[in-house]
Amino acid sequence: MRCALATVTPGESKVQLQKPEGESGFFKYGRNLSRNPKLKGVPKPQPGDTLASFMFRRLGHAYEVYPLFFLAGFWVVISCATIYYSFTKIEVWLDRSKSYSPSDWERARDNYWRKGTLAFDFEGRTRQRCELMEILQDEMLEAAKKRGTR
C-alpha cells in the first residue's frame, strides 16, 4: 500500500463544484499537490508560490492589513535602534584582545564620559568628565596594585 502512493498519479477530485447558472467563465476545482514529495510527475512549487507572494499579493485590496505591516516595520526599526544603542554601552565587551573588561578603569579612563548613559541626553549633562571621581579611581587603582590584587 505504501509503494502504491509513489507510483500512482493523482487524478481529479471525485466531487466537482458546479458553476452557478447564469454565470460566465470557467470553473474547475483541483488540489495543489506540488508540495507532496512522494508523488511523482507532479510539478514542484510554482514560481510565485512563496511566503512573500502570500503576504503581499493582495495588498491593493486588503487595506485592513496596512496597520499590521506598519506595526511590524515599526517594531523592527525600534528593535534595531535598541540593539545599536545597547552596544554603545560600556558594559558590552566585544573586543576581547585586552585582558581587562571595558568597565575596568585602566581602559575606561580616557573615554568613559563619551559612552552612552541615557537615551535622551540632549544637553549633554551626563557626558562630562568627573575629575573628582577620576582622582579617586586613580588612587584606588594604585592601592590595588600595591596590594597585589591587580
Q: In the listed set 55, 83, 111, which residue is the last one of a domain according to the structure?
A: 83
Q: Domain boundary at 36, 60, 83, which?
A: 83
| Count of domains observed in the chain | 2
**Residues 13 and 27 sit within 8 Å (Cβ to Cβ):** no
Q: Give the model's pLDDT for residue 76.
A: 98
Which cell is 120 given?
Answer: 535622551
Number of helices (H) and strands (E) in the chain: give both, helices first.
Answer: 5, 0
**Per residue in 52-108, pLDDT tens?**
777 777 777 778 888 998 999 999 999 999 998 888 777 777 778 877 777 788 888
Mean pLDDT of the chain: 79
Question: Domain limits at 56?
Answer: 2-83
Residue 38 per-residue DSSP state: T
The set of long-range contacts for 40-48, using a CB threshold of 8 Å and a minimum separation of 24, is 40/6, 40/7, 40/9, 41/9, 42/9, 42/10
Band (pLDDT 50/70/90 cuts) for residue 9 is: low
Q: Are residues 108 and 93 in the same domain?
A: yes
